[in-house]
Chain A
Amino acid sequence: MPFCKMHSILGRQQLSPNVTRLKVRASRIATIRQPGQFVIVRLAEDAERIPLTIADADPAAGTITLVIQSVGKSTRELVALKPGDAIRDIVGPLGHATEMIASGRALCIGGGVGTAVLHPIAQSLNRRGVHVTSIIGGRSREWVIFEEELRRLGEVVVCTDDGSHGRKGFVTDAAKDVLAMGGADIVYAVGPVPMMRAVANLTRPLGVRTIVSLNPVMIDGTGMCGGCRVTVGSKTRFACVDGPEFDGHQVNFEELMDRLTIYREFEQRATACADGGCRLEAAVAGRPAQ
């Protein structure tokens, strides 16, 4: 007898060369989710449990939007889903809602797929009447996502590494300018760990509260495994239940980056295996060289 409801895919859109948006049926989660919260999905029996931030939700339609960066075997399988396919398990909403301000100015900084996480935060701020400025970045024009959506909520500064769209350079350069000009009461930074670290380093001397969203390795998402532990202000916290958002000035980013590499060799093997080298893999399965 089945224990789960299958979650059908109702829409799919390629946002950048490796980022895909899926609209998925999950009515309970669509009704109660808040900005900053995430789900854990498991595509099929024997699949990995993958944490994904809820980028948007439509309570009336009973759908949530997941934005997925394809990085390994499991995420590749997820982004290959088409309307009519289904995800076996979705659990959530998990984690705490984003800390909000009631008025003033917010600076929202997104890098890569993190921009999708930023979007519901900016939406909620905008709804409260907070002045929102967004700075989003990508390698080049085709890697920039959610620009249109964020423009509806306030000014947007786009940064690309090659200058093919917006200004050339890092999001932190643009952030420096925005902070120098008008300042901000709060900064939200979501993206690659080095980007979030750079933003935190930029805002720390200015004393501007900075919220970052962390995505460490996790399994259950309910505090049970402790795999997602991060050091925040010299205390160990579990990102799944204590986070996923923390005070960026307190996070030990070096440790987080390091812990994100624990399974790198396994991921490469799984990807190689999915590409067809599995028989050899099975023969030498064991511990990765360290």
Chain B
Amino acid sequence: MPEQDSAARAANFDEVNLGFTEELALLEASRCLQCKEPRCTQGCPVCVNIPKFLGLLSQGRIADAAQSLLEDNALPGVTGRVCPQETQCEARCVRAAKGRPVGIGHLERYVADWARTHRDQLSAAKAPATGRRVAVVGSGPAGLTAAGELVQHGHGVTIYEALHKPGGVLVYGIPEFRLPKKIVAQEVERLQELGVKIECNAVVGRTWTVPELREQFDAIFIANGAGLPVFMDVPGENLKGVYSANEYLTRINLMAAYQFPHSSTPVLHGHRVAVVGGGNVAMDSARTARRLGAAEAMIVYRRTRNELPARAEEVHHAEQEGVNFEFLTAPVEVIGNDKRWVTGLKCLRMKLGTPDASGRARPEPVPGSEFVLPCDVVVVAIGTRANPLLTATCPELKLNKHSYLIADENGMTNLPGVFAGGDIVRGAATVILAMGDGKRAAGAINNYLKPAAS
């Protein structure tokens, strides 16, 4: 996949991957062996019929390829950019055994981008109206996917979104250089054209409650994400210059703080930015800090490179853009000056010990290894936990011990007709797993709404 030069892109917010040309896309698609029992599709949480759309693409039948892809996946322009294909579809490609797998993610992106600019060549056929109405709580990947599926089945769909713009983590969390906001906006627009209604500035748990929605709708799909940021719980964490990754990225992505003062929301830029955590959100934060002009952006992670939860491509891009990695390092305190601005992060060196409950080696502190990493901004990217706003106003909903919603294999909660999926059920996970939940729950909701056989 052609990329923007790493030095140039470390200073701008334009997309890093430039996308395939038509010639390159057809060539790559023709590498698909059209397996009789395709394993790639089994690796896809939304079960995209990969050989079918690749076959059509290799024949140059791009509109048919797009039609096929969109039937399986409501947000292909998004997943083509942010899915961890290397552990899903591409990992199972038979070509991977002897060299390089088919570049399924890049091809998905190519077809999705073509579809977005050639909407007139695609059919927008959907099932006749059923007269049934479904409320979807949250317009992130799970909610948008479910909405897309449900509207295709002929149901009326209204999405309730707490923020002023739809997209959830796709607009507040994932940076412009990885997923341009224009693409999310166009995918949302396509759903609106299909008939999905979106009500922004509607916080379920405050503006509306689940019982209120239940009275107005025949079914509900709750996909409000796992919003609350987890902090480190170390001294100095409320000093000026400490952000949760949620706040840092929301200011920059949703509120366009990188354009301040032309936009209205500010963000501290930081000369040396320490990002605590090793997931995709940590990589996004560090790469964003570089783009805001940080001379140094560091990933502070308590395990080693091998345990980094981030996608390989994100780690690779971060390194190319000059992000430094402090492995086997655990913060114990944020240090500030007399005016309470951050000046450093006091850390301990760690060593890997015996595996813990998650099967990963447990990091253990090296005695006497305390040192201070000088920095003026700290971004805490160590995860999120369940937001209790919605569930507090619907106490009948059953929660697990981490306050996430409990849903059965169809995505239904303990309340009939109330379904749930995405991070509010599984804890912080990936866009595509949330979409898989949305798709599966939409199927279950469709069955639930079918008139009983008489």
Which residue in B199, B260, B265, B271 is a CB contact (below 8 Å) of A49?
B265
Cα-based distance from A92 to B262 in the complex (angstroms): 27
Q: Of the 9-residue stretches B53-61, B121-129, B238-246, B319-327, which lies at the interface with chain A?
A: B238-246
Interface contact B189-A92, CB-CB below 8 Å: no
A222-B293 contact, Cβ under 8 Å, with A3-B200, A93-B206, A259-B240: no
Identify which of B30-38, B88-96, B102-110, B227-235 touches chain A.
B227-235
The reply to whether B227 and A270 contact each other, CB–CB distance below 8 Å, is no
In the complex, which of the residues A42, A92, A290 contacts B339, with contact meaning CB atoms closer than 8 Å?
A290
Asked if B157 is at the interface of the complex by the 8 Å CB criterion, the answer is no
Q: Which residue of B lies closest to A3 (CB)?
A: B200
Shortest B88–chain A CB gap in Å is 28
- Asked if B447 lies at the interface with its beta carbon under 8 angstroms from chain A, I say no
Assembly CA distance A282 to B389 (angstroms): 39
Kindly list chain A residues whose C-beta atoms are within 8 Å of the C-beta of B264. Answer: 46-48, 73-74, 270
Partner of B240, one of A28, A262, A270: A262
If A226-B229, A236-B237 touch, whether A49 touches B255 (CB-CB below 8 Å) is yes
Give per-residue flags for A124-162: 1 if the beta carbon is below 8 A from chain B beta carbons, else 0. 000000000000000000000000000000000000000
In contact, B387 and A222 (Cβ under 8 angstroms): yes
**How far, in whole Å, are A263 and B267 apart by their CA atoms in the complex?**
8
**B389→A222 contact, CB < 8 A:** yes
Query: Does any Cβ of A come within 8 Å of B406's Cβ?
Result: no
- B69-77, B160-168, B346-354, B407-415: which lies at the interface: B160-168
Partner of B255, one of A48, A222, A223, A267: A48
Interface size of B by CB at 8 A reads: 52
A220 contacts partner chain B, Cβ-Cβ < 8 Å: yes
Which A residues are CB-close (under 8 A) to B339?
290
- Checking B228, B243, B266 against A263 with a beta-carbon cut-off of 8 angstroms, the contacting residue is B266
Residues of A near B341 (CB, < 8 A) are: 290
Asked if B118 CB lies within 8 Å of chain A CBs, one says: no
Q: How many residues of chain A are within 8 Å of chain B by beta carbon?
A: 53
B428 to chain A, nearest CB (A): 13
Are A286's CB and B247's CB within 8 A?
Answer: no
Given A49-B265, A236-B238, verify A241-B389 contact (CB < 8 Å). yes
A169 lies within 8 A of chain B by Cβ = no
Alpha-carbon distance between A262 and B243 when the two chains are bound, in angstroms: 12
B305 at interface by CB-CB < 8 Å: no
Q: Is the CB of B200 within 8 A of A223?
A: no
User: Could you tell me if B164 and A91 are in contact, using CB atoms closer than 8 angstroms?
Assistant: yes
Q: Write the A67-111 contact mask toward B (1 if CB under 8 angstroms, else 0).
A: 000000110000000000000111111100000000000000000
Nearest A residue to B225 via CB reads A224
Which one of A91, A225, A269 lies within 8 Å of B203 (CB-CB)? A91
Contact of B247 among A227, A261, A281 (CB under 8 A): A227
For chain A residues 234-259, which have a beta carbon within 8 Å of chain B?
Answer: 236, 238, 241, 255, 258-259
Residue of B nearest to A26 (CB): B201
Q: Does B192 contact A (CB under 8 A)?
A: yes
Query: Please, which residue of chain A has its CB at the minimum distance from the CB of B249?
Result: A225
Q: A90 contacts which chain B residues (CB < 8 A)?
A: 201
List B contacts of A1 (CB < 8 A): 189, 192
Q: Do B192 and A224 touch across chains, with their CB atoms under 8 A apart?
A: no
Residues in chain A near residue B162, CB distance under 8 A: 91, 220, 222
CB atoms of B262 and A223 under 8 A apart: no
CB distance from B210 to the nearest CB of A (A): 15
B268 to chain A, nearest CB (A): 7
Residue in chain B with minimal CB distance to A73: B264
Indicate if the CB atoms of B250 and A224 lie closer than 8 Å: yes
How far in angstroms is the closest Cβ of chain A from B165? 7
Residues of the B chain whose Cβ atoms lie less than 8 Å from the Cβ of A231: 238
- Does A219 sit within 8 A of B, measured CB to CB? yes
Does A278 interact with chain B (Cβ within 8 Å)? Answer: yes
On whether the beta carbons of B387 and A290 are closer than 8 Å, the reply is no
The answer for the CA separation of A89 and B250 in the assembled complex, in Å, is: 17
- B228 pairs with A223, CB closer than 8 A: yes
Q: Are B198 and A3 in contact (CB under 8 A)?
A: yes
Instruction: Kindly list chain A residues whose C-beta atoms are within 8 Å of the C-beta of B201.
Output: 4, 89-91
Do the beta carbons of A266 and B255 come within 8 Å of each other? no
Identity of the chain A residue whose Cβ is nearest the Cβ of B237 in the assembled complex: A236
Is B363's beta carbon under 8 Å from chain A? no
Besides A73-B264, A238-B228, A261-B240, 12 other CB < 8 A contacts? A3-B161, A42-B164, A89-B200, A219-B250, A224-B228, A227-B247, A258-B240, A262-B240, A266-B260, A270-B264, A278-B261, A290-B341
Among all A-B residue pairs, the 9 with the closest Cβ atoms: A266-B266, A225-B247, A287-B269, A91-B201, A3-B200, A48-B264, A224-B227, A226-B244, A89-B164
Question: Measuring CB to CB, which residues of chain A are less than 8 angstroms from any residue of chain B?
Answer: 1, 3-4, 28-29, 32, 42, 46-49, 73-74, 88-94, 219-227, 229, 231, 236, 238, 241, 255, 258-259, 261-263, 266-267, 269-270, 273, 278, 281-282, 285-288, 290
11 A-B pairs with C-beta separation under 8 A: A3-B161, A73-B264, A74-B264, A94-B206, A223-B228, A224-B227, A226-B228, A236-B238, A241-B388, A241-B389, A270-B264
